[in-house]
Amino acid sequence: MSYGSVAAALGSRSARGVGRVMAHAGSGSPWWRVVRSGGLPPRGLEHDALPHYHAEDTPLVVTPSGYRVARSAWI
């Protein structure tokens, strides 16, 4: 899900708030499963997220600037 989708599911419009909660929760939460708009991995954590995506067989799309999670993987 995107940060905005998580916020909407919680009855909020604060995608940034979701990001703050995820940052506070630390690495114990599955942070790589919350993507930015368009399926982009969390900013600055693209390299760290990639092994998680591979381990979970998450469909990825290669882009000129890196990769994104394929739309078919979104909830």
Task: Determine what percent of the chain falls in helix, strand and coil, rounding each to the nearest 5.
Answer: 55, 15, 35
Q: What pLDDT score does 74 carry?
A: 61
* pLDDT > 90 in the chain, percent: 39
Is residue 75 scored above 70 in pLDDT? no
pLDDT tens track for 36-65: 888 999 889 999 999 999 999 999 999 999
Domain boundaries, the chain: 3-73
Highest mean pLDDT, choosing among 12-21, 25-34, 50-59:
50-59
Mean pLDDT of 14-34: 82
41-72 CB burial, b ≥16 within 10 A, e <16: bbeeeeeebbeebeeeebebeeeeeebbbeee
Query: Percent of the chain beyond pLDDT 70?
Result: 92
